[in-house]
Amino acid sequence: MERSIYLDNSATTPLKKEVLDVMMPCLTSNFGNASSIYKTGRKAKTVLEAAREKVAKAIGAEPNEIYFTGSGSEADNWAIKGIAEAYAEKGKHIISTKIEHHAVLHTLEYLQKHGYNVTYLPVDSEGLISLNDLKNAIQEDTILITVMTANNEIGTIQPIEEIGRIAKEKKIIFHTDAVQAVGMMEIDVKAQNIDMLSLSAHKFGGPKGVGALYVRKGIKLPSYIHGGGQERNKRAGTENIASIVGLGAAIEIATDNLEEKTSKIRALRDKLISGIEENIPYVKLNGHREKRLAGNVNFSFEFIEGEALLLMLDLNGIEASSGSACTSGSLDPSHVLLAIGLPHEIAHGSLRLSVGDINTEEDVDYVLEKLPQIVQRLREMSPLYERVNK
């Protein structure tokens, strides 16, 4: 029997049927340009602003604090480069962490080439930053703290509210990349002291190529794309109405009944974790056991290459992701796994299974049937494992 089990929901999620249904008319009959004053244009403008309200409501913001972007990466770039530019007179120091997504890390590296100083906070073995480290890193000229809400590889959730409180006390802007968090945990930008937040539709059942940046009222944010007056003069270009409407619908669905939905996902996650720990020797769960995204499972399997494991899983119809960054053309393991202190060879044998609302108990049972066999077969080919087992 040919099976296909998608367990890479942190990489992307399938577009929900209900979301496609509301997008479709925007691609056909309701094709107007939201800047036009006649009826077709006004209709586009109406659905655009309704989507903005949905995004705002989902995270506890005001609609005029939401800017649509072309992706989560763009939202991260805009937030960081924008603050760097607008507050350069106050200072050129930024605080972040070693485990951010590349959309943040590479943006910070770009700024370092342009005279900015960045402190990358270390994380402990479970992926948490220390609030004391954060306090100690703050300088007179610190203008921005950017710390992700939840990590995309190991799922660790940072103490966002406390980080925000520290930033607020010191009058430093706090940005968080919440791309993995939205739709998986409660987000309330006001209660959690968040000044700026990035999100992306395709991580919670929306279309690819659309995201949003929340910017608290009062923060100076320079224009990112110059041209027409769209997005209150800050991001020019005729709006991608269908995708934005899709984002609005997806975030509404994803955050509605959040606790009920995530508890189902969490149960599947926990079944995977305990099933792997009980049935496979020489494994290590990466990330924090409790402060963890509802759908995240990340394990290192000793004596195994993550790439080989992925290949074997794929042959068995299971789609997941590994911790080696072979995509970038380098054989270096993930910066996140190295930051939590894994030795190179263990980091290379890592596997991420990310559960989403599309997954079922049968999916998990199937993985727990196949994975131990695959790991065993791969280990039998490993000379190191042979030595250990003697």
Ligand X SMILES: *Cc1c(COP(=O)(O)O)cnc(C)c1O
| Identity of the residue, 71 or 97, whose beta carbon is nearer to ligand X in the bound complex | 71
Candidates 31-39, 65-73, 116-124, 228-236; binding stretch for ligand X (CB under 6 A):
65-73
**Buried b / exposed e along 347-380 (16+ C-beta atoms within 10 A):** bbbbbbbbbbbebeeebbebbbebbbebbeebbe
**Least separation, in Å, of the C-beta of 73 and ligand X?**
3
**Binding to ligand X (CB under 6 A): which residues in 117-156?**
148, 152
| Identity of the residue, 302 or 359, whose beta carbon is nearer to ligand X in the bound complex | 359
Q: Is 300 in the site for ligand X (CB under 6 A)?
A: no
Candidates 127-135, 175-183, 312-320, 334-342; binding stretch for ligand X (CB under 6 A):
175-183
**Least separation, in Å, of the C-beta of 216 and ligand X?**
20
DSSP string for 246-314: HHHHHHHHHHTTHHHHHHHHHHHHHHHHHHHHHH-SSEEE-S-SSSB-TTEEEEEETT--HHHHHHHHH
Q: Is 72 in the site for ligand X (CB under 6 A)?
A: yes
Distance CA 170, CA 195 (A): 13
Check: CB of residue 174 under 8 Å from CB of residue 193: yes
CA atoms within 13 A on the CB side of 367: 30
Candidates 42-50, 69-77, 254-262, 290-298; binding stretch for ligand X (CB under 6 A):
69-77
Of 339, 341, 272, 337, nearest to 306 (Cα)? 337
Q: Is 8 in the site for ligand X (CB under 6 A)?
A: no
In terms of DSSP bridges, do strands 93-97 and 142-146 run parallel, antiparallel, or are they unpaired?
parallel
| Identity of the residue, 45 or 146, whose beta carbon is nearer to ligand X in the bound complex | 146
Q: Is 177 in the site for ligand X (CB under 6 A)?
A: yes
Of 39, 50, 68, 32, nearest to 236 (Cα)? 68
In terms of DSSP bridges, do strands 283-285 and 296-301 run parallel, antiparallel, or are they unpaired?
antiparallel
Active site residue 326: yes
Site string for ligand X, 201-230 (x = CB under 6 A): --x-------x-------------------
- CA-CA distances (angstroms) from residue 194 to 103, 164, 343? 19, 6, 34
Candidates 70-78, 139-147, 286-294, 335-343; binding stretch for ligand X (CB under 6 A):
70-78
Q: Which of 131, 326, 358, 368 is catalytic?
A: 326
Q: Is 73 in the site for ligand X (CB under 6 A)?
A: yes
Number of Cβ atoms within 10 Å of the Cβ of 29 = 10
Candidates 34-42, 177-185, 233-241, 343-351; binding stretch for ligand X (CB under 6 A):
177-185
Q: Closest-CB residue for ligand X?
A: 72
Of 304, 384, 334, 348, nearest to 102 (Cα)? 334
**Token couple for 271:** 């079944």
Interface residue with ligand X, options 13, 200, 255, 324 (CB under 6 A): 200
| Identity of the residue, 177 or 357, whose beta carbon is nearer to ligand X in the bound complex | 177
Which residues contact ligand X (rule: CB under 6 A)?
A: 71-73, 76, 101, 103, 148, 152, 177, 179-180, 200, 203, 211
The residues annotated with a catalytic role in the active site are 326
